[in-house]
Structures are given as structure tokens and as C-alpha cells.
Amino acid sequence: MRVLLIKPSLSNVYRWGPQTDIITPPLGLEYIAAYIKDIADVRIIDGLLETVNLKAIAKAIEQFQPDYVGISWNFSSQIDIARRIANIAKTHGCRTVVGGWHPTLVPSETLEFHSIDIVVRGEGEITFKELIQNNSPIGIPGISYKKDGKQIHNPDRELMNLKIIRPPARHFRSGAAKKTYNFFGIPVDCMETSRGCPYSCNFCCIHHFHRKKYRQHAIRNVIKELHSSEIRNRATIIYIIDDNFVVDPKYIIELCNAIIRSRINKYFMTQVRVDMVVNHPEVFEKMADAGFIYLFLGLESFSDVTLEKLNKQIKFKQIKYALKILHDLGFFVHGNIILGAKLEDTKQDIESTIEIAKNLDIDLLTYSLLTPYPGTKLWEQVLSEDLFLTRDWHEFTWSHPVIKYSHLSSDDLSNYLTMAYKETMSFNRPWQGLRRLVETRGLKFNLLRIDPIDIFKMYFQLLKNLRKILSTK
């Protein structure tokens, strides 16, 4: 059995902001590959690589002649590219399977497309393995498929026990891929230590995907993975992709102690919540000691009323306090703001957000527009109040307006998005971050882990990218 796994390009994903310079490995497909490598001849094509386009994909399918083509469709706005790949695979007689966040959110709609045979809902490791083993979708939990023109949705699969999950099969990466994965110019690898999140922000589709459950990997397995040759020999910075890294302070302190004890000497970045910083500063101190340098925080809004409407369970006062704690610990802090986060927002609300952003002591701020996904409270509200401007997934990029507001037009929102970047992206911010990284934790402390050339390279890339954005918008 031959299986080709494809991660489509991000051609229609969020094009704003410096994070477009982050090119990360196809971790989801590498997890899947780990489960089928013993029962199938597997290859992975990563559409993020410069050399990969639809022609190259068609050629690879022609040469490899896979029985199954599996497409990873995480961003809803990848609809065109995901469908075009499925079309190519179908013309070569392959069975097409799509998995990832988008098909999991809307399996029926996904199956309506003529070139898609099977949808794997939720985590794909065991479901896809069983599909390949049985060479049939019948009776396999977690699968939706078509039979005689009718859709069949098998029951959900139980969530996996992450304590015994196999590590991702990173060895499927090509030489070009190894050279490509970078975070602002620094070799990066991705890892996962948990899945899910216990919070319920009203715009976030995580509950639909992970069914309100939060699960952790075994610490000894995380450490083993960090010591694997693919990570040890190539990556300088490890991006822990967990949606919410600090949920269980005890686990994080144990994990950080294990990282320190095992002398991994890598830098780390991840995503965390403001309230955890404020309530558990000791965890963040330990993270700094373990090599965490870059933290992403979903700030979403500076208005307590809006934060409450989003069910974010944080306050503006906590945002400011969290920034101080993190800066005192030497972290580089990246925050994201949702413009128009409240459906009643006025021009004045957005202008005041931009004013506050200008004066906020943070190293990098990015912005997005409120975007609803099925399975969220926001989706239900926008649907019931008939507020969708479009239901075309192509537009669900977080940078296109997709909702009707009472006091804001689509042009207003697009203009404010441009304005927010232009007015608040200051070159001083990342430089301050660099100074802090060097001064606060001490140059010696940081140099233990990273080549100084790398850190300057990272900042240079960050600034170059900011300049590019500012000059083109």
C-alpha cells in the first residue's frame, strides 16, 4: 500500500504580520506517518516548501502512484488548494482522504466535493491507521465517507491517551525541508506537550476538535523527543505548538525541571494565557530558566466589556501586569489583538484600541479580524442574527471581514487593520525585546543555549519583515 500525505501551501492563509516568516514542519502528518510507516510505503509532501507547487504535486503522484492521498486541511481558507490537490489525486485514480481542523468542523459539507472520498474527523493517528489496514472506511470510528451517493458518518473515535502516543516521524523530511523550517531565520522544530484547552473563549473552535478535554504527554517522552537526533542536531529554537501551554502549573514546573536536568540547551517559544502569568509567576520564572524566550499571548482586546463578551476570563489590568512580570523575567512578548472583537464596536472603540496599543509595553503586536467557526458560540450568534457577510471559506483568513457590524463597514475594518499595523509597529519594540533578553536574564545565561549570531539573525529577520510590511501596506 502506498500513501502520500500532503500539507497544502498557505497561499490563502493570513498574510498579515511578521508571523508569515514562520515556516514550521507538518507535525500533524508526521504524527500520522508514525502510525502507518510499518504497514505502508509513506511519503510526505510539504506545500510550504518553495519547490512544491501543484505541478510538482501532480508529478509526485504520477511517479509514486499512491493508493491513498491524505491531505491536511487545518485552515478553512485553504479550501481552494485542498480541493485542487484532491482533484489531481482523483484524476490519478487515488482514494482521497482529508483530515485536520476544517473537515472536522464541517464533515458533511467537505464530503459534498466530488473529489473527496473520506473525511477523518479529529485526531488522525489511529483512525487513519485502521483505514489503511482495513483498506475500507466501513465501521471505523472517526470517519465520514460516501457510499452509493449517500454520506455515512461513523461514530466519533475516543480521544487518544497521549501518555503512550508515538513520537512524530520526523525522518520523512527531505533535505530541502530540513533547510526550510525556520522562525525568523533560525532553524526551528515543533513539538507538542498537550492537546486541548479547558477554557471556552467564544470564538475558539478548540472544543469542537478536542471535545473540551485537556490531555498531556508523558514528561519522559517529551524529553526523549527533545533528545532525538532530528531535534538535537538541527533546531535552535523549539516551538511548542500547544494551544495553551500552561494549564497545569505542576506539570510545567516538572517539565521545565526535566529540561534543565537533561541539559538540552535549546530555546523555546510557546502560547500562554495572561491569567496564568499573573496567578503563577513562579511557573514563568521556571520556564525562563529552562530556555523559554518567546511567548505568544492572545490578548484579544483592551476593553473589559469586550473581554467578558469573548468569555476570555481576563481583565485589561491583568494584561498590563502580565507584561510586566514577563518583561522582568526577560521574555520577548508577542500579543495578538482582535479588531472588532465585539459586534457592537464603533469606530471610536477601534481607534481607542489602536491608541492603547501604541503605548503598550510589548515587543510585538499582531492584529486579526473576528472570524467565526462552526462549533463556537460566536458562530451560533452570527448565524442566528444573520450577520454573515460571506460564507465563502476562502475569505475566512482572519484578515478579511466576514461579519456585518452595526457601526462598521467592511472597508472600515480593512482600513483599521492596515492602520493598526502601520501605527503600532515600531522598530523600537523588537529592539527593546532583544536588549531585555540580553540584559535581564544576562548575556551569559542566554549564550549558554544559543549562538549569538543566531539571535541577531532572528532580530534582523524580524525587523526586515516589519519594514517589508510597513512599506507595502
Answer yes or no: are the C-beta atoms of 389 and 402 closer than 8 Å: yes
Q: How far is the CB of 207 from ligand SF4 (least distance, A)?
A: 7
Residues 28 and 164: their CA atoms lie apart, in Å, by 16
Burial of 60-94, coded b for 16+ CB within 10 Å and e otherwise, reads bbeebebebbbbbbbbbbbbebbbebbbbbbeeeb
Q: How buried is 213 (Cβ within 10 angstroms: 0-12 exposed, 13-18 middle, 19+ buried)?
A: exposed
Per rule CB under 6 A, is residue 311 in the interface with ligand B12?
no
Which residues ranging from 15 to 54 are in contact with ligand SF4 (CB under 6 A)? none
Q: What whole-number distance in Å separates Cα of residue 58 and Cα of residue 43?
A: 14
The verdict on 463 binding ligand B12 (CB under 6 A) reads: no
Contact 65, 19 (CB under 8 A): no
197 binds, among ligand SF4, ligand B12, none (CB under 5 to 8 A by kind): ligand SF4
Decide which of ligand B12, ligand SF4, none touches 311; Cβ closer than 5 to 8 Å per partner kind: none
| Span interacting with ligand SF4, options 58-66, 71-79, 160-168, 196-204, rule CB under 6 A | 196-204
Question: In the complex with ligand B12, which residue's Cβ is closer, 128 or 421?
Answer: 128
* Sheet containing 332-339: order of strands: 22-23, 182-183, 186-191, 237-240, 267-272, 292-300, 332-339, 364-369
Regarding 128 and contact with ligand B12 (CB under 6 A), the answer is yes
Cell representation of residue 38: 510499518
Binding mask 236-255 for ligand B12 (x = CB under 6 A): -----x-x------------
Of 6 and 322, the one with the shorter C-beta distance to ligand SF4 is 322
Beta-strand relationship, 2-7 and 41-46: parallel
Candidates 107, 298, 372, 430; binder of ligand SF4 (CB under 6 A) is: 298
Length of the chain: 473
Kindly tell me which residue out of 18, 47, 107, 124 binds ligand B12, with binding defined by CB under 6 A. 124
Q: Which of 197, 241, 278, 403 binds ligand SF4 (CB under 6 A)?
A: 197
Among 4, 33, 82, 102, binds ligand B12 (CB under 6 A): 102
Phi, psi at 95, each rounded to 5°:
-85, 130
Determine the interface stretch with ligand SF4 among 95-103, 129-137, 158-166, 193-201 (rule: CB under 6 A): 193-201
Structure-block grid coordinates of residue 205: 473552535
- Out of ligand SF4, ligand B12, none, which partner does residue 267 contact, by CB within 5 to 8 A per kind? none
In this structure, what DSSP letter does residue 159 have? Answer: P
349 binds ligand SF4 (CB under 6 A): no
Among 25-33, 81-89, 219-227, 300-308, the segment contacting ligand B12 (CB under 6 A): 25-33
Which one, 241 or 378, has the nearer CB to ligand B12? Answer: 241
Task: Compute the Cα dihedral for 12, 43, 113, 126 and give only its sign.
Answer: negative
Residues that bind ligand SF4 (CB under 6 A): 197, 199-201, 204, 206, 243-244, 273, 298
